[in-house]
Amino acid sequence: MSTVHVYDTTLRDGAQQEGLNLSVTDKLAIAAHLDDLGVGFIEGGWPGANPKDTEFFRRAHDELDLRTARLAAFGSTRRAGARAAEDPQVAALLDARTPVVTLVAKSHPRHVELALRTTLAENLAMIEDTVSHLVAASRTVFLDAEHFFDGYALDPAYALEVVRTAAGAGAEVVVLCDTNGGMLPPQVGQVVQQVARDTGARLGIHCHNDTGCAVANSVAAVQAGATHVQGTINGYGERTGNADLVTVISNLQLKLGHPLLPPERLARAAALSHQISEITNVVPYSRQPYVGASAFAHKAGLHASALRIDPDLYQHTDPALVGNQMRTLVSDMAGRASIELKGKELGYDLSDRPELLARMVRTVKDLELQGWTFDAADASFELLLRREVTGEPLRYFDVESWRVITDSGSDSSLSEATVKLVAAGERQVAVGEGNGPVNALDHALRQALAVAYPELDKLELIDFRVRILDASHGTDATTRVLVETSDGSSSWETVGVAGNIVHASWLALIDSFTYGLLSQGVEPR
Amino acid sequence: MSTVHVYDTTLRDGAQQEGLNLSVTDKLAIAAHLDDLGVGFIEGGWPGANPKDTEFFRRAHDELDLRTARLAAFGSTRRAGARAAEDPQVAALLDARTPVVTLVAKSHPRHVELALRTTLAENLAMIEDTVSHLVAASRTVFLDAEHFFDGYALDPAYALEVVRTAAGAGAEVVVLCDTNGGMLPPQVGQVVQQVARDTGARLGIHCHNDTGCAVANSVAAVQAGATHVQGTINGYGERTGNADLVTVISNLQLKLGHPLLPPERLARAAALSHQISEITNVVPYSRQPYVGASAFAHKAGLHASALRIDPDLYQHTDPALVGNQMRTLVSDMAGRASIELKGKELGYDLSDRPELLARMVRTVKDLELQGWTFDAADASFELLLRREVTGEPLRYFDVESWRVITDSGSDSSLSEATVKLVAAGERQVAVGEGNGPVNALDHALRQALAVAYPELDKLELIDFRVRILDASHGTDATTRVLVETSDGSSSWETVGVAGNIVHASWLALIDSFTYGLLSQGVEPR
């Protein structure tokens, strides 16, 4: 593996994105995904700055079992005129109990004077004191030199002194930050090379995308000698976002030969990008390099015949290397192949059933046009496939009707659901309460099925996600609901789509219960 | 003005984007906007390749009154083994009656053999013959050398021969195309420099964004000597899109001093980007450099205090230069400074009210810990701020109760809502139907308020977003709902958070209606 650090700051700098708001549970889930991808460092947040980040580090210490990544706490150098050993913010960094601490420090004279309101000399003392204090407490320290490139342009001698001071005090890496994002690649490359030469320090790079060059600037810095690169998943971040870490990694690894991640982990990049979008609920950007849904989609036309002969003539890299795939937007060839593959994965051999495959492709395309999605709902896909193979839907019970009432009765607005159905030959009428319509329906449905299918008792809904499609129609829009259910040992996802959010949820619930019974080998009673 | 050509291909290469489909009227409207921006050339399409493009050129000739731009028709070199003068596709280019024709030609040996199925020598003859024929017909000819960078890597001598042949036959510019988008800036710069030196031809650049470097590659080419730069508005295009033309122009003009557009025209860039999004119906990308809604939006509390003193310390350029503006966002990372700044933006001077500010910071942090978010809900924030300033909530009506029923009655599951409230001294009981619980509540609430507040009639819910927080609790989770409402001329966002999704939606609706009345200057009746 390469000696270049892959440092992710999705949880800290990425979370600065407008409209992005992560709960502690979200942050823990994202950290686990990042560890799976194989990044070297995960910056978790700023302990002490807000209660959420403090709680994140407490829970991460107990709950996160990282295999590859090391966790970093982010904070600033001590206050002017105090001692690091007595600064509560610095103490909070140690309380986070992470192996790594990343300190942000000023390296631009105007920022020292206007934002920190202290002297240039005191700023250097703050860096020296804080880095030494953390190193003495056995932390690996990285120092983010904020506004470095702008500062270097104004006063190179002072910017260099910041780098020397941090490195001299024991910072393992000094990260040059283009905080305002205004740089272009040649400037970045030149400054990194010069600073490396003048200071001998190990350098990192942290870029923002304000000129549309965050990726190119990061790559230029590595080519100029930086050996630590920061970024965020999907380029999340304030303003125009941070450098898109997956694109930076892919360029360095696939174009320039830096082995940053084991190939089998890089091949999870597209899936990881989408999984993290689901957690952040930021709509994926289809034109995103490498991992976007359109990244390898060809509108054929001019290219069609040559594409068939040699796809490599029309793609800059093999999409499989990043877990993506080529799509031709006019042909259903890819559709059939992937459905056959998916069927095989689920235990259905469809290789000698071209008609069934063609029918499935049509069904899936029709449903996807209506807003259904199966790439995140394997269980619903399997039920659909099973229905096509056997010729009839799997029916454990017959629903007569259902109804949910929500009212303003209390601040927490309980919902009440009634479900009427026939199971094992008996008509059941059951009522359930919940703190939302879906929760109430879940309880009523369980109640109605308890006698016929006691196996359902161990099922638990563990995730519930809503996406509004065709948002321009406002509350009139189509709604897609994804439900994840666990039986204690494994979990599965189902999907429902309807104009009515409650109806969509009901469809996903029915699939979830049906799949839960099927997977336990239960026969309809 | 600079001698660098600004060449827009939104209408041709941009239209290759997945999901983008432009009518002739759309194309004419976009062309008029491009002319307003001040681009030098507008590539309108491929006459003869499809009836739509042929009609575009016919109507453009009669209807478009271009002040700055010159129109270009796009097409390919003649067929192998024929004469340009007898090729119907070449004739269609002349029939388009444009001052400029842009020809696409192969410059990569494998593409000549596999896609064109002809010899390398015949490909050169096709270029020579077609360019000469068009030049003889008084057209300015640009030649797009497709797959140039890949071709140059494989066989530089042949790639150079293509450039020499085109230039020798009279092509004014030979455009080097990174058709597969796999290049990085140093390669692009190096090849452009080498080709310029070896051929003496005037060179252009055409980049795709597959490595996330389309902008950086375009800028690198100009720095290496290219004097013609192609791109599309909003970076539309196949796969990951083309170089975003506005970002390229802004970098060249504001960072590197190339005066490509008159400043007052560049200052229309943000508006133009949004107007064209409205025509294409592609959702604007908020993180787009220079013109995106978030491009100059600041969230961090750390920065807000210094932002007040000197905004230029925190922005890479003056947003007014591209017609954008700075915004401050309120979030749990925010401190007093950013709330003060936000208040100022909304017309509340809080500079001499430190206690109120401190209370607001506490309130916002507490609410955000519960899942509220205000950076995407300015209207709810303003109502909250107003309540703290005036000491009481703004009450246009008093809700007694509400209730929603959803049932399985039909596939589309209508919901039915009842709202009871007192407005203008009268008790109102109203019922509303909708295709979801929120839609039904919206209708019932409007109905109940119609007599007291006819001003609400013009309000329309235009977006509705749902986010499940702490999703690991499944259907038991907290739900956050964001609602966007329009009164026809402006729009505002409100937020609601509750365990029950319907209750959360109700809270966001109430804020939306309240803000809608407040912003019209309506007094409680």
Residues of A in contact with B376 (CB under 8 A): 18-19
Task: Show the tokens assigned to B192.
Answer: 């452009």
Closest to B457 (Cα-Cα) out of B472, B446, B441, B445: B446
Residue A157's pLDDT is 98
* CATH number for domain A5-261, candidates 3.20.20.70, 3.30.160.100, 3.40.50.11740, 1.25.40.80: 3.20.20.70
The 3-state DSSP class for residue B83 equals coil
Residues of A in contact with B483 (CB under 8 A): 475
Q: How many CB atoms lie within 10 A of CB B482?
A: 22
Q: Quote the minimal CA–CA distance from B375 to chain A in Å.
A: 6
Which secondary structure element, helix H or strand E, spans residue B423, and what is its range? Answer: strand B415-423
User: CB pairs under 8 A, 24+ apart, for A251-254?
Assistant: A251/A215, A251/A219, A251/B184, A251/B211, A251/B212, A251/B213, A252/A2, A252/A4, A252/A219, A252/A222, A254/A317, A254/A321, A254/A322
Nearest to B475 among A214, A461, A499 (CB): A461
Q: How many CA atoms lie within 13 A of B253 on its CB side?
A: 27
CATH 3.20.20.70 domain position(s) in chain B: 5-280
Closest to B416 (Cα-Cα) out of B390, B391, B444, B388: B444
Between strands A398-407 and B398-407, the pairing is antiparallel
- With residues binned 3-state (H G I as helix, E B as strand, rest as coil), the percentages for chain A, rounded to 5, are 45, 20, 35
- Interface contact A408-B403, CB threshold 8 A: yes
- Interface contact A474-B461, CB threshold 8 A: yes
CATH 3.30.160.340 domain position(s) in chain A: 360-385+453-525
**Ordered per-residue pLDDT tens for chain A, 525 residues:** 678 999 999 999 999 998 788 989 999 999 999 999 999 999 999 998 888 899 999 999 999 999 999 999 999 999 999 999 999 999 999 999 999 999 999 999 999 998 889 999 999 999 999 999 999 999 999 999 999 999 999 999 999 999 999 999 999 999 999 999 999 999 999 999 999 999 999 999 999 999 999 999 999 999 999 999 999 999 999 999 999 999 999 999 999 999 999 999 999 999 999 889 888 878 788 899 999 988 998 864 455 556 667 778 889 999 999 999 887 654 334 467 667 777 777 788 888 888 888 888 888 877 876 778 776 688 998 899 899 888 888 899 999 999 999 998 755 678 999 999 999 999 999 999 988 898 899 999 999 999 999 999 989 887 787 877 765 444 557 888 888 898 877 889 899 998 888 999 999 999 999 999 999 999 998
User: Are B423 and B431 in contact, with CB atoms under 8 Å apart?
Assistant: no
Cα first-last separation, chain B: 60
pLDDT tens across B489-513, in order? 788 989 999 888 899 999 999 999 9
Nearest to A50 among B240, B332, B437 (CB): B332
Task: Show the tokens assigned to B200.
Answer: 């003496």
Nearest to B316 among A210, A466, A476 (CB): A210
Residue A411's pLDDT is 59
User: Are B111 and B83 in contact, with CB atoms under 8 Å apart?
Assistant: no
Top-level class of domain A360-385+453-525: alpha beta
ipTM of the complex: 0.76
Chain A's closest residue to B285, CA to CA, is: A285
CATH 3.30.160.340 domain position(s) in chain B: 370-386+458-525
User: Are B495 and B480 in contact, with CB atoms under 8 Å apart?
Assistant: yes
Nearest to A413 among B415, B469, B503 (CB): B503
Residue A308's pLDDT is 63
- Residue A308 and residue A333: Cα distance in Å, rounded? 11
CATH number for the region B397-452 comes to: 3.30.160.270
Q: How many CB atoms lie within 10 A of CB A186?
A: 20
CATH number for the region B370-386+458-525 comes to: 3.30.160.340
- Residue B41 and residue B79: Cα distance in Å, rounded? 26
- Note the Cα B161 to chain centre separation in Å: 39
Q: Quote the minimal CA–CA distance from A24 to chain B in Å.
A: 8
Residues of B in contact with A492 (CB under 8 A): none
Residue B486's pLDDT is 86
- Interface contact A406-B503, CB threshold 8 A: yes
The 3-state DSSP class for residue A106 equals strand
Query: DSSP letter at A301?
Result: G
- Residue A144 and residue A173: Cα distance in Å, rounded? 9
Which secondary structure element, helix H or strand E, spans residue A169, and what is its range? Answer: helix A156-169
- Residue A230 and residue A244: Cα distance in Å, rounded? 9
Regions in chain B scoring below 70 on pLDDT? 1, 300-306, 330-334, 410-412, 470-476
Q: What angle do CA B229, B230, B236 make, to 5 degrees?
A: 145
CATH 3.30.160.270 domain position(s) in chain B: 397-452
CATH 3.20.20.70 domain position(s) in chain A: 5-261
Residues of B in contact with A466 (CB under 8 A): 466-468, 501
- Residue B82 and residue B365: Cα distance in Å, rounded? 74
Residue A251's pLDDT is 98
pTM above 0.95, yes or no: no
Top-level class of domain B5-280: alpha beta
Chain A's closest residue to B439, CA to CA, is: A475
Chain B's closest residue to A236, CA to CA, is: B287
- Give the list of residues 6+ apart from residue A378 with CB closer than 8 angstroms, or none: A346, A492, A493
Residue A281's pLDDT is 77
Q: What pairs with residue A210 in β-bridges?
A: none
Residues of A in contact with B324 (CB under 8 A): none
Q: How many CB pairs under 8 A join A and B?
A: 369
Residues of A in contact with B498 (CB under 8 A): 411-413
Residue A494's pLDDT is 93
Chain B's closest residue to A329, CA to CA, is: B18
Nearest to B240 among A181, A292, A466 (CB): A292
CATH number for the region A397-450 comes to: 3.30.160.270
- Residue B151 and residue B107: Cα distance in Å, rounded? 6
pLDDT tens across B246-286, in order? 999 999 999 999 999 999 999 999 989 988 987 887 778 88
Residue A301's pLDDT is 47
Chain A's closest residue to B436, CA to CA, is: A500
Residue B272's pLDDT is 92
- What is the per-residue DSSP string for A175-211? EEEETT----HHHHHHHHHHHHHHH---EEEEEB-TT
Chain B's closest residue to A463, CA to CA, is: B474
Which of A77, A213, A414 best tests the B interface by mutation, with the highest count of B CBs <10 A?
A: A213
- Note the Cα A443 to chain centre separation in Å: 31
Task: Show the tokens assigned to A468.
Answer: 């509004």
